[in-house]
Structure 1
């Protein structure tokens, strides 16, 4: 199986060099790399797969470092499991970089606000991988080293945005990304993965398909301050699925 790796990037040249170097060192070689610079992000992700030639399409961020067997392991999962439509894996964020994402604000805190967030938003499962919660949020367990203890293929509700791979024919059948998402396009990847799942295929997570997410505050990060767009994306996703 040929693998197409899509990297959407904006204003992070040094980070991009690192991810490209890690891809160069992959043990799996039947692979093409597409670098997309279009905005909004959902447009870049969608245009990427339409230009790709691989049977498997993988999307990663421009601030990750992939394990040397990342590509090999994800392709093997698709080859050995014809009922699997999508694959994801660990997206480990170094502990000193957790502060770079507001979604981790609760980590290490014992305040009432943090406890309520974990209970009401994360369904008391902050370290679970790949779960969509009752209110339409997502559990962030894949970002912590503790996720490496999960063995075998874990059935999940969604795929991590910075470590997401799908069968091309299923992406095409599902219609690709919904261009109704705005700005940083959060939830667009959950939406596509769930549509692929609704075609009758499994979404799985494997600790062998791992990368390190060196979350950056440069480049596209400034768009994360546009809370109006982010809230619109969340409500748009909720309206479609909940």
Structure 2
């Protein structure tokens, strides 16, 4: 079978060492190489990304590289589906590693459920150094359930590092919102969540498939309380951009007060936890709330 069924898109910016690990996991898949391709989208990297990517392109006929000059993960992801030759387009982050049968499981699902155009699976953490004792043990793991089923996008979502789309979705004029997501090293989220909401509101069924698995890195810089709370703050900002709830200034102050009181109660409840883990568990929702309110009140 020489027709490309699956295009795997890896968007990257200045993380050449992590990218190399990711691509190695993709070129050693159990699926026959003529059935899938790997597209590396370099988003203006200034390290050795091009050199390392080209070395994979020279070794593997199903690997190719393109450069997206518009800065931002959404721009890079949109460039990925524009370049793709496959009927299905899968996305994996450059700091992730695919399970050996990841591509095979994706193709298998498309054969079992050809009517499903959007789906994804779990990710599990890996680290390059041992996390500190206080670090939340569940952090970096994403699972919804143990069964293959439709998700409710009001409460559930598919993660950006393990998601697949039928190319007809993009042919209908839908794409990743370039106003959302990472831009260079600027921390931001939400472009894949926004796309899921658009698709769900358009009548698409979105599936969670537990057999489609990847590993996702918990980088050493994330093993700090300040980074975890900053991440929650930025999640709140991005959530406001997606859902854009409207309240008066007094309502926002009341929401903020309630969130703080709730956090203080949690702080008392988690008194047996290590201090930094206790602070994170107690105040993460407060920082999320502050981020959303800050975006609503102060963003232009």
Count, aligned residues? 199
Correspondent of 1:153 among 128, 136, 149: 149
What's the CA shift string for 1:106-160, capped at 9, x where partnerless? Answer: 836xxxxxxxxxxxxxxxxxx8xxxxxxxxxxxx8x815xx49713335352211
Pick aligned residue for 2:136 from 101, 104, 107: 107
Which of 13, 18, 39 is 2:16 aligned to?
A: 13
| Distance (Å, rounded) in 2 between the aligned partners of 1:55 and 1:226 | 34
Point out where structure 2 has 5 or more consecutive residues left out of the alignment.
44-70, 222-226, 246-300
* Cα distance between partner residues in 1 of 2:238 and 2:120: 22
2:200, 2:206 within 8 Å by CA — same for their partners in 1?
yes
Q: Are the counterparts in 1 of residues 189 and 234 from structure 2 also a CA contact under 8 Å?
A: no
RMSD (CA atoms): 3.3
Distance change >3 Å, CA 197–CA 227, structure 1 → 2: closer
TM-score by length of 1: 0.70
Q: Partners in 1 of 2:166 and 2:215 — Cα distance?
A: 23
Contact persistence 1:7–1:60 (CA under 8 A): yes
Deviation at 1:215, TM superposition (A): 2.8
- Contact 1:97–1:214 (8 Å) recurs in 2: no
TM-score, scaled to structure 2: 0.57
* Residues 174, 196 of structure 1: 8 Å contact kept: no
SS in 1 for 2:172: helix
* Greater RCO structure (CA 8 Å; 6+ sep): 1
Gaps of 5+ in 1: 109-126, 128-139
Q: Secondary structure at the match of 2:38?
A: strand
Q: 1:196 aligns with which of 194, 199, 203?
A: 199
Quote the Cα distance in structure 2 between the aligned partners of 1:231 and 1:54: 35
**Post-superposition offset of 1:35:** 1.1
1:177-216 aligned within 5 A: 177-182=176-181, 183=183, 184-216=187-219
2:167 matches 1:168: yes
